[in-house]
Each structure stands twice: as structure tokens, then as C-alpha cells.
């Protein structure tokens, strides 16, 4: 759905709910008839009657007035029930998630027990025990909704307790209560708020359901459900008596749900940026330049040729130009380093090369990217798939994040091998072991069966390198491959990468914020700042006689012993 349409719906829902809530709140002071006063000489007047705007019911009571008072009761009960369920449920959930141990076990089994009953039947059973009446109906629907809040709160809290910032708070000497209120609660709250708005719609329906069955509001008090029940018998002769409250329930619940959805999109900054919209198979390209071959460079020789690349994020007023006018030529076997501080657009460029940059929010706004004479920007998903991982391979910064945590590493390396399906098991195994051996991993045959979390950071990155090498790629793009590793391991991994590259004659685009590392690895350096190239040339020349002030800063930042 387009953004403007979404916003339009949200505004309409917000105005509608605001009007309904205002009507319900101000009911006692509105110039409307007494909702419970029956005038037997004015029974069942049709809508738009001069005496009653929306007509009257079987006892001659004004329907318009009863709708407003009924709305007041329904909203009050639903909001109160939501609050009760939210407070009790979330407290149980947060405590269970935070404390774990026996309390978690006890609470969650209790919740499981509640959830094992069909929801409405449980509410009916509770009212049957407590007796009919609005307060009891309120308690019943609050109780049946406790499990939803408890489960949601527990799930989030459980995830939070493993976060470093909670550990840091504990190390800082905060007690459990302080951690719960200052660290956990603010992080759980937005989700609970959203759960509440969606639950509110349900609660209206449930209250109406119980009242419809005669278990909620008792006469003469009207709520929307009991009005619906009153009109049911007259459905064929005087449909307005039942239709009007039915319509109001429909509009109210729809409005609340739309409002809840809109609120969620507003509250979650990731949703606002469109980040959770499933990105397409390839980065969107705005304008395809068919041939941008400059006269002076013979792109016959170069393996990868990038011209005037522009990468943008976001839409409308919030467009960020992350990369602007990027140029690059890589020849077969060459190694080029891309340096720049964090946020300078290195990763965006790297991902754009095989169109892996997620769209939305990213897109290639202009420029050309050619690999081995083929235009990558005009390729379809199928053609790109044949380039990715086979001709151009990636090594990522965080080897743990790019490996499937539940799959033995050997199997993951095997999956990276092109045509693995058609190889027999033995040959495939041998190939995997050979690849792991090449990266210097000890005892590859045993390591194959191990899960990613059982390896050290350096070992995981070697697995990443093995996967990148699996298909003898012609270009490897390594995006900060050693930033997550400690210094000694870093050196070993870099040496390995350098040796492998030289032995295989693979071209390398090496990305780092560390000029010293890039200088050791690459013959050429491109310096990027705020998405623009500030300097490019031979490593030696750039380091000895830097032209740009920014490069000088980077050189000064290299620690010397
Ligand atoms: P780095 O050089 O550290 O790898 P990136 O290429 O990841 O930098 O990011 C470059 C710039 O692109 C950032 O400064 C940011 O402004 C923008 N950017 C990156 N990802 C997103 C995103 N998902 N949404 C909006 N802007 C983004
Ligand atoms: Mg990066």
C-alpha cells in the first residue's frame, strides 16, 4: 500500500476514534434524551423521525442516546479489561523472563493451562462461576487475555536479559528492581502498548459477545452488545434496532485496529524507514546507462568497472545520498583497498556491486557497473544469481551473523559450492575438506560437523573465506573481514587472504577503516569520505605523499610503536 494512502487511512481512523471517545466521555452533558426512559406511546419509531434522530426501540427508548451511553459502557469495560490484562499479564511475563528459574516454570505452566481452554468458552465459564454482570464480564475477558500479554512480555524480556546493556547495568551496581524499571520496562513498553491497542478491539467484541448472550450488561444499562441482542428478535420487521449498534461495533473495532497498526508503524523507527518491507531480489536501479565507457580507459582489460555510481537511501523528503560519483577499475588479480571512516559508504558500495543492497530503502540512482564487460545493472535476478557467489564472492565482517547457527559448518561450505546437488557425497565431502584445509583450519574432517557457535572468531572467518573460495571466484569483496577479530588473529587471517589471492590470481576489493591494514594488503587505495572519493592511487604514493587532508588524518591515526 502506498504511504500516502496509509497515512490517509490512519488520519481517518484517528479522527473517527477521537469523535467516538469524545461522545462517550461527554455523554452525561450532551443534550440527548435519557437512554433508559421508555415512552410506550413512541415504540419502534423509524430513524430520522422528528422525535428521535435514530428512532426508538421496543420500549420507546431513544436509540441515538442509548448508542452513545452504550458506547460509553462498552469502551469503559474494554479499556478497563485491557488495562487489567496488560498490567497483570505483563508483570507476570516480565518477572518470569527476568527471574527465570522456578517462578518462570510455575507462571508459564499456569499460562499454558489458561491457553489450553478455548478462549470464549473460558470467558463464559468464568462468568458462569462469578455470575452475570458487567464487572464480572470485565474480569472474565481480562483473565482470558492475560496469557497474551504474559507471553509477549516474557519473550521480549528474555531476549533483553541477554543484551550487553543489561549486563552493563548490573555490573554498574544496579539492583534487580532498578534494572527492571530503568532498563527492561522502557524496552518492553512500546510493544506492550501496541499489543494493548490491538487487544482493545478484541475486548470490545468480547464484551459485546458476553452482553449479547445476556451475561454482561444487565437491563436497564445498555452496552452495544445488549442492544444488539434486544434488536435481534425484530431483525426482519425493524432492522434498525439491531443494525445500528452492530454498525457502531464494526466501525469502532475497525477504527481501533487501524489506529493500532498506524501507531505501530509510527512508534517503530525501523518500520518508518520501510526497512521491514521485504526487500526485492536485487537493488533497484533507477537509470540504466547502456554504455558509459570512457575514452581513456580500456575497459576490455578491467574485470570490474564502476562509473559515476550514486547510491541513495530513503524516499521523499528523507533521501540520503550515501555514495556520490564513485569510480573504480579493478583488473584481474589486482587488489584494491577501499578506506574511509564508518558511515562513509563503503558497505553500500560493496553491496551495490552485485545488487545485494536491500531495496527499499537503498537504490542505485545513477551510474554504471560492469563486470567482465557485462552490465550488472541491467541483469535480471536469474542472471545476477549466476554472478553472485560464483564469479563475485563476499566475505563479511561478522562471520557469526552470516552463518546459519543451526547448520554444521561443513554443510554450509558444501551449500556454497556451485553444482553441489549433482556431485556425489564423497566428492563433495572431499572438496569441503580441501577448502577448509586451504584456509589453514586444523583437522577439517572433524570441524565439518561442528556448529558455528562452537568455533572461535578466527575459525569462523576462515569458514567464511572457504565459502568465498568455493567456486573459484574472479573477484572477492571483503567488507571489513577482520574488524571483529582480535589483533593476532586478524594478522593471520589477512596473511591467509593475501596468500590465497596471490596463489589463485583472484582480484580483491578490500574494505577497511584501517589504512595500515589496507596498505599491507593492496596495491591501490581509494579513500572515501561521506560518499565521495577524496583520493585514489598507488598505495605507496598515497601513503607517502597524500594529497587530501582527510588522507593525512587517516595516516596520522595509524598507531606507531
Ligand atoms: P560504511 O562505510 O561504514 O560501510 P555504509 O555504506 O554502511 O557505511 O553507510 C553509508 C551511509 O549510508 C550511512 O552513513 C548512512 O547515512 C546510509 N545508510 C546506510 N544504510 C542505511 C539504511 N538502511 N537506511 C538509510 N540510510 C542508510
Ligand atoms: Mg560497513
Segment 229-275, tens digit of pLDDT: 888 888 888 888 889 999 999 999 999 988 888 777 777 666 655 55
pLDDT at position 278 is 62
* High-pLDDT (> 70) share of the chain, %: 94
Closest by CA to 394, choosing from 436, 352, 431, is: 352
**CA distances in angstroms from 98 to 83, 157, 160, 180, listed in the order given:** 22, 6, 9, 8
| Mean pLDDT over each residue of the chain, to the nearest integer | 85
Strand partners, 232: none
pLDDT at position 289 is 62
- Pocket test of ligand 1: the residue of 322, 346, 479 to mutate, having most ligand atoms within 8 Å of its CB, is 322
Q: How far apart are CA 114 and CA 106, in angstroms?
A: 13
Residue 160 alpha carbon to ligand 2 centre in Å? 25
pLDDT at position 272 is 59
φ, ψ of residue 126 in degrees (nearest 5):
-65, -45
Chain-centroid distance, C-alpha 115: 27
Q: Is the CB of 397 under 6 A from ligand 1?
A: no
Q: Is the CB of 322 under 6 A from ligand 1?
A: yes
pLDDT at position 24 is 92
Q: Are 379 and 439 in contact (CB under 8 A)?
A: no
Closest by CA to 431, choosing from 448, 456, 452, 450, is: 448
Residue range 460-464: mean pLDDT, rounded: 87
Q: Is the pLDDT of residue 538 over 70?
A: yes
Closest residue to atom 16 of ligand 1, CA basis? 322
Q: In a 3-state reduction of DSSP, which class is residue 113?
A: helix
Report which bound ligand comes closest to the CA of 322: 1
Segment 348-381, tens digit of pLDDT: 999 999 888 887 788 888 888 999 888 888 888 8
Closest residue to atom 26 of ligand 1, CA basis? 313
Burial of 19 by CB count in 10 Å (0-12 exposed, 13-18 middle, 19+ buried)? exposed
For residue 71, name the pLDDT band (cuts at 50, 70, 90).
Answer: very high
**CA distances in angstroms from 2 to 6, 209, 319, 361, listed in the order given:** 6, 35, 17, 14
- Choose between 262 and 79: higher pLDDT: 79
Q: Is the CB of 345 under 6 A from ligand 1?
A: yes
Q: How far apart are CA 372 and CA 304, in angstroms?
A: 6
Q: Are 134 and 217 in contact (CB under 8 A)?
A: yes
Segment 156-181, tens digit of pLDDT: 999 888 888 888 888 888 888 888 88
pLDDT at position 299 is 47
Cβ neighbours for 67, distance < 8 A, ≥ 6 positions apart: 54, 224, 227, 244, 245, 248
Closest by CA to 367, choosing from 435, 321, 427, is: 321
Measured from the Cα of 358, ligand 1's closest atom is: 23
Q: Are 113 and 173 in contact (CB under 8 A)?
A: no
What's the chain's length in residues?
Answer: 561
Q: In a 3-state reduction of DSSP, which class is residue 62?
A: strand
Closest residue to atom 23 of ligand 1, CA basis? 361
Q: Is the pLDDT of residue 347 over 50?
A: yes
Report which bound ligand comes closest to the CA of 531: 1
Amino acid at each position: 500500500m502506498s504511504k500516502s494512502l496509509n497515512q490517509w487511512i490512519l488520519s481517518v481512523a484517528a479522527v473517527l476514534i477521537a469523535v467516538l471517545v469524545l461522545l462517550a466521555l461527554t455523554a452525561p452533558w450532551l443534550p440527548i434524551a435519557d437512554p433508559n426512559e421508555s415512552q410506550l406511546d413512541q415504540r419502534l419509531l423509524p430513524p430520522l423521525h422528528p422525535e428521535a434522530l435514530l428512532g426508538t426501540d421496543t420500549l420507546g427508548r431513544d436509540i441515538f442516546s442509548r448508542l452513545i451511553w452504550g458506547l460509553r459502557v462498552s469502551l469503559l469495560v474494554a479499556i478497563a479489561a485491557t488495562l487489567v490484562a496488560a498490567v497483570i499479564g505483563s508483570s507476570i511475563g516480565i518477572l518470569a523472563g527476568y527471574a527465570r528459574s522456578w517462578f518462570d516454570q510455575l507462571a508459564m505452566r499456569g499460562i499454558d493451562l489458561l491457553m489450553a481452554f478455548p478462549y470464549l468458552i473460558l470467558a463464559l465459564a468464568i462468568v458462569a462461576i462469578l455470575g452475570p454482570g458487567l464487572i464480572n464480564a470485565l474480569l472474565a475477558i481480562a483473565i482470558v487475555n492475560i496469557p497474551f500479554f504474559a507471553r509477549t512480555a516474557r519473550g521480549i524480556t528474555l531476549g533483553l536479559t541477554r543484551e550487553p546493556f543489561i549486563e552493563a547495568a548490573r555490573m554498574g551496581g544496579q539492583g534487580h528492581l532498578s534494572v527492571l524499571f530503568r532498563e527492561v520496562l522502557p524496552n518492553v513498553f512500546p510493544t506492550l502498548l501496541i499489543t494493548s491497542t490491538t487487544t482493545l478491539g478484541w475486548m470490545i467484541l468480547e464484551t459485546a459477545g458476553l452482553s449479547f448472550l445476556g451475561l454482561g450488561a444487565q437491563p436497564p444499562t445498555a452496552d452495544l452488545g445488549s442492544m444488539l441482542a434486544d434488536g435481534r428478535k425484530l431483525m426482519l420487521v425493524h432492522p434498525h434496532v439491531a443494525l445500528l449498534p452492530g454498525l457502531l461495533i464494526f466501525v469502532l473495532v475497525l477504527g481501533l485496529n487501524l489506529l493500532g497498526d498506524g501507531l505501530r508503524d509510527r512508534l517503530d523507527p525501523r518500520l518508518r524507514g520501510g526497512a521491514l518491507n521485504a526487500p526485492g531480489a536485487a537493488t533497484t536501479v533507477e537509470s540504466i546507462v547502456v554504455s558509459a565507457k570512457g575514452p581513456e580507459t580500456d575497459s576490455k582489460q578491467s574485470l570490474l568497472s564502476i562509473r559515476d555510481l550514486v547510491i541513495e537511501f530513503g524516499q521523499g523528503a528523507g533521501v540520503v545520498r550515501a555514495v556520490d560519483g564513485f569510480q573504480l577499475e579493478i583488473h584481474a588479480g589486482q587488489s584494491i583497498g577501499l578506506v574511509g571512516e564508518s558511515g562513509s559508504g563503503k558497505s553500500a558500495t560493496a553491496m551495490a556491486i552485485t545488487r545485494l543492497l536491500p531495496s527499499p530503502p537503498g537504490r542505485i540512482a545513477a551510474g554504471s557497473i560492469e563486470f567482465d564487460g557485462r552490465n550488472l545493472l541491467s541483469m535480471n535476478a536469474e542472471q545476477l544469481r549466476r554472478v553472485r557467489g560464483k564469479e563475485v564472492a563476499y566475505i563479511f565482517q561478522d562471520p557469526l551473523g552470516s552463518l546459519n547457527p543451526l547448520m554444521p559448518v561443513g554443510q554450509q561450505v558444501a551449500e556454497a559450492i556451485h553444482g553441489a546437488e549433482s556431485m556425489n557425497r564423497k566428492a563433495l565431502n572431499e572438496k569441503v575438506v580441501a577448502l577448509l584445509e586451504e584456509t589453514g583450519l586444523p583437522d577439517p574432517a572433524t570441524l565439518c560437523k561442528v556448529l558455528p557457535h562452537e568455533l572461535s572468531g578466527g575459525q569462523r572467518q576462515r569458514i567464511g573465506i572457504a565459502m568465498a573460495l568455493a567456486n573459484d571466484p574472479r573477484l572477492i569483496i571483503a567488507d571489513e573481514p577482520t574488524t571483529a577479530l582480535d589483533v593476532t588473529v586478524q594478522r593471520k587471517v589477512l596473511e591467509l587472504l593475501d596468500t590465497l589471492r596471490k596463489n589463485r590470481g583472484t582480484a580483491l576489493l578490500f574494505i577497511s577503516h584501517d589504512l595500515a591494514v589496507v596498505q599491507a594488503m593492496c596495491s591501490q587505495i581509494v579513500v572515501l569520505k561521506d560518499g565521495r572519493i577524496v583520493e585514489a592511487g598507488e598505495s605507496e604514493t598515497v601513503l607517502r605523499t597524500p594529497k587530501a587532508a582527510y588522507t593525512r588524518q587517516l595516516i596520522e591515526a595509524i598507531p606507531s610503536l
